[in-house]
Structures are given as structure tokens and as C-alpha cells.
Chains A and B, each alone.
Chain A
Amino acid sequence: MISRDAVLSIVGKELGDGLRNRWIWTVSALIATSVLAIAFFGAAPVGVTGRQGGGVVIASLVNLAVYLVPLLALLLGCGAVIDEKQRGTLDLILVYPISLGEYFSGAFLGFALALTIAIAVGFGVSGIVLMSWFEIEVGAYLGLAGLAVALGVVFLSLSFLVSIAARDRSRAVVSLVFVWIFSVFVFDLLLLGLLVVSGGELPAALFSTLLLMNPTDVFRLLCFKWISGVASPLGLTTAMPFVPSTLLLGVALLAWGALPLIVSYSLFRHRVANETLT
């Protein structure tokens, strides 16, 4: 039987720890200021300057979210579990009448809540200003913020996996920096390189499948499909007419969130059982 009190206690503790993390609020503030800067001073990522229309602003924010939201999630989750172990509190907690599953789910929920709050604050503060200055559709903006939370949860899930697999916190941080760089920069470059090498003859199905291999691309494509008015500024309609269906993209993002989490929980159980979680 699941002990609700125990899980809630872990959630509350991790939420509190997450909200105390100064880096989280630094990135959250960066999101807010970047949103405003992009809106007011030009949508540089899409090559347009000056006060922009709603679609252009949202499109710029999609690109901004791709960079900052994974960073926020990775900063938050890099010490998940491993910090407790190094502090000695994990062993103590596990001697209480709480199962590994309860502890793990409580910890993840706590971190995910902290992440959601940080993203909500970042997008919320800037959103209020944006709504009063630009013709931005509230639904589109909220949709973007919601998808940003989903992207954050995906990277939180990845950070849990890396944190549990790593020997110590410093190795976890280094590995997560590589995950971020690969996902945000390197993967797309490799994909472009592949397109160039193939002379643009890459089969559409293969290209679509490759796009699903990177959660940030899945996020971009979901924004393109879901949020009206951003397709054109993102330059996706002409370059990629073979975008996977919304359902497939949704399932892909869900899988990106769930699979690392399932693997990390299984690894967590294994490392606790074998006493290799140092």
C-alpha cells in the first residue's frame, strides 16, 4: 500500500529544495527577460527586427525555450538522488517505512513541480507584459508555456537518469552539459550535414524518424503543429513538408519523458540493491 504521507513528504522536501536553487531562478529570470527582449527589440533568431507580430514573437519564443528550458531542467535535476546519497540521507530515508518507488516518484514529482513553477514564473511575468503590448493570442502563449513545461519534464527525466547513472555529482553535471549541447546544437547540425551529404535526397520517412530522436526537435514540431501562426516564421512549412502527425509527436514527447524515467527507476533499484549507488 502506498503511503501518501510519505510520498507527499518527499514531494514537499524536493519542491522546497528545488525552489531554493538559485540557478533555477537565474534561468527563470533569463527566460523572462529574454522573452521581453525578443519581443521588444527584435526576433533575431528568425531574422526579423523591430516590434513584431504575435506569430513572430511566439516563433522566437519557441527557439528560446529550446535553449533555456532544457538547461533549467538539467540544472534542477543534476543532483537528484546522488546528492541525497552523498549526504547520507538517502540511506536514512530508505530505512523508514517507504518503498523505493514511493521515494523515487516523490522526488521526481517534487522536482517536476519546482520546474513547472520556475517555467510558469519565467513565462508568466513576461506574458503579462507581452499581452498588453502585442497582439498575442493567449491560447497560443499558454500552449507554448505548457509545451515548455513538457519539454522541461523530458529533460528532468533525462537528468534523473544521468544523475543516477553517474558516480558523483560532478560527473553528472559534465554528462548533462554534453546532453544539453548535443540535443540543442549538435543533433540538428548532424541532421543538416546528413541532408547536405545526401543532396537533399534523404527519404521523408527516415528524416521524420530522425527528428523524433531528439526531444527538442519534437518540441519544435509540436509547437509548429499546435500553435497557430508560428509555422511560417519557423521556416518549417517549406523546408519540412513531411512533419510527423501531432499524435505521433505527442507520443514521442511522452516517450521521451517516460522512457528515461523508467530506465532511471530500474537503475536506481538495481544500484540500491547492489549497493553501488555511491
Chain B
Amino acid sequence: MIRLAGVSKRFGQVEALRQLDLEIRSGEWLGVFGHNGSGKTTLIRTIVGLSKPSSGQLTLDGKSPTQKDWRIFRRKLGFMPERVSFYEHLTGAQTLRFFCRLRGLDDKVVAPMLERVGLAQAAGRKIGGYSKGMRQRLNLAQALLGDPEILILDEPIEGLDPRGVRDFFQLLRSGATGTVVMSSHRLSEVCDQVDRACVLVDGESKALGSVDEICESLALPVTVYLYPTQPFNGTLRAALSDLGASSVLQRTDVLVVEVSQRNKTVFLMGLHAHRQAIRHVRVQEPSMERAFFDIP
């Protein structure tokens, strides 16, 4: 549906996006990850049509969009920008009514939406008195108005506490929206929620695929935590190396072992022979965060 082919975006001397190829598939949840300044917001702005590629092509449903196509696309689009200061003198309900009319929706959807995002009690209060979390929920509410088919969210969980993040994803899941694109630099909280991830480094897509695919392609090792029954001795440590551990780190009461994906099964089976010496085993697959740091 949305496809970027060789898209680059330049701001003077700065190249914010470089030769980006990306397809946003219908019904998928795509996470766009990267450090600050990696090009996430530029990519999001390009997808919603606020930014035009310097080179390359963006297509909507297979064709280069005209103004009319953008308008049709935007009827089914919800957008949550990273930085927005709503009108302080308006109440939450008045704000949503304003955006509701822009979308051509009936005002009746405002009250249920405020209820849905947990702002029903504050509907009549001016936004000037809203907390950061409440503003973020209002921002999400305007994006969710009319349950758009596609949601584009720029750093949606920025500034939210863990409970706020949980509530945010619950809200998102409760809607009818099929396709979601969200940018974030908080990998641990977002990568479990998305079907695919695109990792941007200096405007370049360094990895694209499911979290498992990305980790696999990077051949990241599995981390195995071994808790011994007895105080450590050199025997177990030496045995672990023989079983294929690529590194063994000794901490106070645990051995942290790294094993390649290829050797993982053999290694874990081999531990059986040392079961008397091991009280507990914890296996940790490589995280997206680890992948993020290991991407060249």
C-alpha cells in the first residue's frame, strides 16, 4: 500500500534519509527504530506526505500520489505527531470536536473517544491544565478519531511511565486500526508489539524484518545464565568452553555464557551432564536492543 523506493531526503548538507526502500504492508504493525537524529521523524513525515523525497519515489497503492490521492489516503489515516501543543484555551472535548469536523465526522464520536482514552472526567477541562500523560492521550484520541485504517505514530510513548506505556498499547489494540507505523527509540517496550522493525542509522535502513529475523541475520549469541549449586571451581567453566560457549563471564553467583545460535542446542543438551553442579539455568534470546547496538 505505502512503498518507498530509493527514497533520500536532504536538508542542505544533511542527508536525513539515504536510499531507503520500505514497504508498509496492509495490516502490519511496523516499528521504526533509531537513535535521536537517525531520520525517524523525517521518514514518518514522508509517509504522511508532509515531507517530499529529494530523490526516489513514494507510491500509494502502486502509484505516485496526486493531491487528490493524498486526500483520499488521509481520510483513512490517523497521525500522532511527536511534538504538538494543542490549544491551551480549549477543553479536551472542544479540541476533539475541532479535529472531528476536519475529518468530516459527526460530533457524536467525541464523548466515546474521550471515554476510551480515559479523559471522560477531564473532557470539560481546559488543556492548559492537562498533565503530560493526559496530553499524550488526547493526541492519541485525535489520531484514533473515526478508527482510521492506518495509524502513523511518531514517538508515541515518549514521556510515558511504564503504566502509561501499557495503557497506550492496550488502547491501540482495542481499536479497529489494522496498519500501524510507529517510531521510537525505546526498543524494549515497542519491539514486542510490532510485526516488523526497521532500524535506521544515519538515515539508512540497516535492518528490516521481524525481530527474530533481524537477530538471526546478525547472528547474535544466546546468553545463558548458570547458577551453580556449589561455589565455583574451574571444572564447570572449562566444560562450558568445551560445549561450545563463545565466552564465559564469572559473576558473584552466576556464570554468564554466550553461545552462538548454531551451537545453542548442543550446548544446552550438554549441560545435562553437569546437572549436579547447576542449580538453575536461564536462557535469554538476543533482544532487539542488543541487535540495535550490534548493527554496524
Chain A residues in contact with chain B, CB under 8 A?
A: 3, 5-6, 8-10, 12-13, 17, 20, 87-89, 91-99, 273, 275
Label chain A's interface by main secondary structure: helix
Cβ-defined contact, B101 with A8, below 8 A: yes
Q: List 24 A-B contacts (CB under 8 A).
A: A5-B102, A6-B104, A9-B98, A9-B102, A13-B98, A17-B87, A87-B84, A87-B86, A88-B81, A88-B84, A91-B50, A92-B81, A93-B102, A95-B48, A95-B74, A95-B77, A95-B79, A95-B81, A96-B99, A96-B102, A97-B71, A97-B72, A273-B52, A275-B51
B104-A3 in contact (CB<8A): yes
Q: Which of A20, A87, A95 has the most B CB atoms < 10 Å from its CB?
A: A95
Interface 1/0 per residue, B62-92 and A, CB below 8 Å: 0000010001101101010101111101000
Top 9 A-B pairs ranked by shortest CB distance? A9-B101, A88-B84, A96-B102, A95-B79, A97-B74, A87-B85, A97-B75, A88-B83, A95-B48
B184 within 8 A of A: no
Interface size class of B (residues with CB under 8 A): 20 to 34
Decide if B101 touches A5 in the complex (CB within 8 Å): yes
Chain A min CB distance to B70 (Å)? 9
B142 within 8 A of A: yes
Interface Cβ pair total, 8 Å cutoff = 65
- For the complex, what is the distance from the CA of A17 to the CA of B90, rounded to whole Å? 10
**B118 contacts the other chain (Cβ, under 8 Å)?**
no
Residues of B within 8 A of A17 (CB): 87
Q: Are B103 and A96 in contact (CB-based, < 8 A)?
A: yes
In the bound complex, residues from chain B placing their C-beta under 8 Å from that of A95 are 48-50, 74, 77, 79, 81
B50 lies within 8 A of A94 (CB): yes
CA distance A273 to B98 in the complex (A): 25
Across-interface contacts of B102 in A (CB, < 8 A): 5-6, 9-10, 93, 96-98
Query: Is B104 a contact partner of A91 (Cβ separation < 8 A)?
Result: no
A239, B87: Cα distance in complex, Å = 52
**Contact across chains for B85 and A88 when beta carbons are under 8 A apart:** yes
| Bound Cα distance from A5 to B199, whole angstroms | 40
Rounded to whole Å, the gap between the CB of A88 and the closest CB of chain B is: 4
B103 → chain A closest CB, angstroms: 6
Residues of the B chain whose Cβ atoms lie less than 8 Å from the Cβ of A8: 101
